[in-house]
Amino acid sequence: MAGSRHEEAAAPRVGVLALQGDFREHLAVLTALGAVAVPVRRPDELAGVSGLVIPGGESTVMDKLSRTFGMAEPLRAAVDAGLPVYGTCAGLIMLADRVVDGSAGQRTIGGLDVAVRRNAFGGQNESFETDLVVPVVGDGPVHAVFIRAPVVAEVGPLATAVGVLDDGRVVAVEQGNLLGTSFHPEVTGELRFHVRFLEKARAWSSR
């Protein structure tokens, strides 16, 4: 048991929700960082990980598929239990407690005390890149790519804005073991958010 706990601390077993979206890119990044990264599609697979990434994609489709595959309630329970979760783009929407412009019947997993606005920067042809200052991941600018990205419209008292555009719009938030970004670090080679997520996963596995 001691050996397996040591191995878990060195190389945590983490999952990427693989119902829809760019989960393969996250699996590749996490594997490159030394984690045991596995796709998660079923509740039993979720139960076997020390952290979870919810990738970008279509938040409405992800919501429907999570309910279809019986994942919605296990995901909520995992977040409530403190499992480290990192959501990018649609993943941020899934973690938000509130969606100010959600489609009819759209639900989220919740956990982040924020309200988000979907496609806040426009459609695919309004995608853009910029550099951000995000002190919680270290010195040096974060090169961020926004693709049909949401924005954090409101930050509640339990959450903290950790990344802000020059115009004041919040695009990265953190709350305990939860981390969310409007942008896609997995496509730019920006590893520091995944490193921070893995630090949380290691702490969770060794608790």
Q: Are 190 and 143 in contact (CB under 8 A)?
A: yes
pLDDT at 7 over 60: no
Q: Scanning the structure block, which residue is given the tokens 């938030």?
A: 173
Mind telling me the catalytic residues? 89, 184, 186
**Region 10-25: what's the mean pLDDT?**
94
**Does residue 24 register a pLDDT over 80?**
yes
- The number of distinct structural domains making up the chain is 1
pLDDT at 2: 43
Tokens representing 46?
A: 């979720």
Separation of alpha carbons 128 and 14, rounded Å: 30
**How confident is the model over 89-118, as pLDDT tens digits?**
999 999 999 999 888 889 999 999 999 999
Specify the range with the lowest mean pLDDT, choosing from 123-127, 149-153, 164-168, 190-194. 123-127
Amino acid at position 15, single letter: G
Residue 125 is predicted with a pLDDT of 63
Q: What is the mean pLDDT of the chain?
A: 92
Residue 9 has pLDDT above 60, yes or no: no
To the nearest whole percent, how much of the chain has pLDDT over 70?
93
Average pLDDT (182-205) is 95
* pLDDT at residue 43, as a whole number: 96
Report the C-alpha gap between 195 and 185 in whole angstroms.
Answer: 11
HSE-CB at 194 with a 13 A cutoff on CA atoms is 28
Give kind and range of the element (H or E) at residue 172: strand 170-175
What tokens were used for 42?
């079923």
Going by C-beta distance under 8 Å and a sequence separation of 6 or more, which residues neighbour residue 152?
92, 96, 114, 115, 116, 161, 169, 170, 171, 173, 180, 182
Q: Answer whether residue 123 shows pLDDT above 70.
A: no
pLDDT at 38 over 70: yes
Least confident of 41-45, 119-123, 133-137, 141-145: 119-123
pTM of the model: 0.92
Question: CATH number, domain at 63?
Answer: 3.40.50.880
Nearest to 10 by CA among 39, 43, 50: 50
**Are 82 and 203 within 8 A, CB to CB?**
no
pLDDT at residue 201 is higher than 90: yes
Least confident of 71-75, 108-112, 126-130, 177-181: 126-130
87/180 Cα distance (integer angstroms): 5
Domain hosting residue 28, numbered range = 2-205
For residue 22 the two structure tokens come to 């760019």
